[in-house]
């Protein structure tokens, strides 16, 4: 596949910075103040995928030689402001750079087309989660500031809204005519070296505020002890060329070098699905071929463990948009289904709604999770049977006016790690303490189809974290006591995944109005 399009996407972000220990371990907290200016409209995108067109170099240095450092995105979630915060923010990150007082620098990420991401995937409602954005050769040394460049435009979704609202980054962060920049001056310099190679850019999405159409984000600083938990590293898609292929199938390792200068260490196993984009059987890895590897970072081995690898067919694309997410409401007769958006890449900008209609045609190509070509009837049977964590990727042409993508390709992927996030806010209607569940009347929600005023059952279990409105922990007993007393009055925020029509909560808090 040849990427033949650009996307007009831009955003503003305030950034925090922490440096991981060892091979991706917990961070050494840094502090600092933010300054800088932004503006502009940048073009280009990759969404949930690291590709693009830039060479990106590391210039200047402190002493210490060179080596690889990785950039991660996360959201520590320590702030929550339902009045000003957002459930989703689509942003395009362009460049991440460390600097020192002698003009030395370490460019951790550099893609003028931008990396598009919905920041909601960086926190599951109770703990931070991580996306490995880049791995580049940098000058090892000590740095005292962090600069993040991004585009100015963004699409924000106020809590509970299924419709995005176009906004721009606050004008105080303008940087030229095309880009926005945030500078974090670190009060304590940080050292990047072979034992401290991981840098995490952290967003506190729930603390973002907006005045008019200008958004001011919130910085989060500090060490996150969950970095070493492999289950909290999200799957991402990396596009590039294979080199240094080693090992014996199915246990292979290789370097994937993308167009932005990143070099990811990738490992395969017996569970990795390897297939050709054109659906022809017999996909085989080899040095020099172009692939899309989908996988999550393993903090123990510092490698990306591939869930699937798609071998490029070297055929030019005939679509302007790629979107991935959870499928809902399939109808084989009309050839339509709805996709709750988790990943987005388009030359036409950010998505304007929480979900998009997919329209298939007589020429749409369907591939199952093994990369095999299937017919429409089989594809819609899979769509009907899709669970809450199903993930489908669609390539096609986006019609913004009708919120529709006419599909040229529909690809089924399993264990995506990105298709299970949902939240709901509403008033307590009924409580079933014995079943460990309660019903709310929805006021706001995201991650599934709903109508304001619908009833939704929230299911809790031993893994649910309970809290009051300020985030202070509550026991299950105290939480359910407050629910019972607050029927018809108390407001609940719950986040988790939709399972059998109920929201299975990982996190739930309660505002009794007292």
How would residue 30 be classed by pLDDT, with cut points 50, 70 and 90? very low
- Helix ranges, 303-435 (H): 376-384
Share of residues in the chain with pLDDT > 90 (%): 43
Share of residues in the chain with pLDDT > 70 (%): 82
- Give yes or no for residue 107 having a pLDDT over 70: yes
Give the model's pLDDT for residue 256. Answer: 98
* Six token digits for residue 185: 């001056």
Rg (CA), the chain: 22
Classify 230 as helix, strand or coil. helix
What confidence tens digit (pLDDT) does each residue in 300-327 have? 999 999 988 999 988 877 899 999 998 9
Average pLDDT, the chain: 81
- Give yes or no for residue 23 having a pLDDT over 50: no
* Six token digits for residue 244: 């240094």
Mean pLDDT, rounded, for 455-478 = 89
Give the model's pLDDT for residue 327. Answer: 92
Contact criterion met (CB below 8 Å) for 428 and 492: yes
Give the model's pLDDT for residue 414. Answer: 59
- Give yes or no for residue 42 having a pLDDT over 50: no
- Give yes or no for residue 442 having a pLDDT over 70: yes
Mean pLDDT, rounded, for 4-18 = 33
- Give yes or no for residue 286 having a pLDDT over 80: yes
* Six token digits for residue 353: 């709604």
- Give yes or no for residue 419 having a pLDDT over 50: no
More confident residue, 208 or 435: 435
Give the model's pLDDT for residue 399. Answer: 96
More confident residue, 376 or 13: 376
What confidence tens digit (pLDDT) does each residue in 181-191 have? 888 887 778 88
Give the model's pLDDT for residue 69. Answer: 94
pTM: 0.72
Contact criterion met (CB below 8 Å) for 252 and 267: yes
Give the model's pLDDT for residue 32. Answer: 32
Q: What pairing do the DSSP bridges indicate for beta strands 236-248 and 49-50? A: parallel
- Give yes or no for residue 176 having a pLDDT over 80: yes
- Give yes or no for residue 11 having a pLDDT over 80: no
How would residue 446 be classed by pLDDT, with cut points 50, 70 and 90? low
What confidence tens digit (pLDDT) does each residue in 201-249 have? 888 777 777 889 998 877 655 566 788 888 899 999 999 999 999 999 8
What's the CA gap between 125 and 421, in Å, rounded?
9
CA 399 to chain centre: 23
């Amino acid at each position: 596949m040849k990427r033949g399009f650009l996307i007009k996407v831009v955003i503003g972000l305030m950034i925090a910075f922490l440096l991981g220990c060892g091979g991706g371990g917990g961070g050494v907290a840094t502090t600092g103040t933010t300054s800088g200016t932004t503006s502009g409209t940048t073009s280009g995108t990759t969404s949930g995928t690291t590709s693009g067109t830039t060479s990106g170099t590391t210039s200047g240095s402190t002493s210490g030689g060179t080596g690889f450092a990785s950039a991660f995105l996360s959201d520590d979630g320590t702030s929550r402001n339902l009045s000003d915060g957002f459930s989703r923010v689509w942003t395009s990150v362009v460049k991440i750079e460390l600097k020192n007082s002698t003009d030395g620098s370490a460019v951790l990420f550099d893609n003028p087309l931008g990396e598009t991401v919905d920041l909601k995937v960086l926190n599951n409602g109770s703990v931070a989660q991580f996306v490995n954005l880049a791995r580049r050769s940098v000058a090892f040394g000590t740095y005292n500031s962090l600069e993040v460049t991004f585009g100015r435009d963004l699409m924000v979704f106020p809590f509970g809204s299924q419709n995005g609202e176009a906004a721009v980054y606050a004008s105080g962060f303008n940087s030229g005519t095309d880009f926005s920049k945030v500078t974090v001056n670190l009060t304590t310099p940080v050292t990047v070296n072979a034992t401290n190679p991981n840098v995490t850019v952290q967003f506190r999405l729930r603390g973002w505020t907006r005045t008019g159409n200008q958004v001011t984000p919130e910085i989060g600083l500090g060490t996150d002890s969950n970095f070493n938990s492999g289950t909290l590293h999200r799957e991402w898609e990396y596009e590039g060329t294979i080199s240094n292929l080693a090992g014996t199938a199915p246990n292979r390792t290789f370097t994937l070098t993308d167009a932005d200068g990143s070099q990811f260490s990738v490992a395969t196993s017996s569970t990795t699905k390897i297939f050709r984009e054109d659906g022809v059987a017999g996909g085989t890895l080899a040095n020099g071929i172009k692939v899309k590897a989908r996988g999550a970072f393993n903090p123990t081995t510092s490698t990306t463990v591939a869930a699937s690898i798609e071998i490029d067919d070297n055929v030019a694309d005939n679509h302007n948009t790629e979107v991935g997410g959870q499928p809902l409401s399939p109808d084989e007769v009309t050839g339509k289904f709805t996709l709750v958006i988790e990943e987005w890449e388009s030359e036409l900008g950010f998505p304007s709604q929480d979900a998009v209609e997919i329209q298939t045609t007589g020429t749409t190509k369907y591939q199952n999770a093994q990369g095999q070509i299937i017919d429409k009837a089989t594809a819609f049977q899979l769509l009907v049977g899709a669970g809450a964590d199903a993930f489908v990727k669609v390539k096609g042409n986006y019609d913004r006016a009708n919120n529709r993508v006419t599909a040229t390709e529909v690809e089924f992927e399993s264990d995506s790690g990105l298709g299970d996030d949902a939240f709901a806010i509403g008033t307590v209607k009924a409580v079933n303490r014995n079943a460990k569940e309660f019903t709310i009347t929805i006021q706001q929600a995201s991650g599934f189809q709903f109508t304001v005023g619908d009833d939704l059952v929230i299911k809790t279990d031993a893994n649910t974290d309970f809290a009051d409105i300020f985030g202070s922990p509550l026991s299950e007993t105290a939480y359910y006591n407050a629910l019972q007393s607050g029927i018809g009055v108390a407001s609940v925020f719950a986040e988790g995944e939709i399972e059998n029509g109920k929201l299975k909560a990982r996190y739930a808090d309660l505002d009794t109005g007292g």
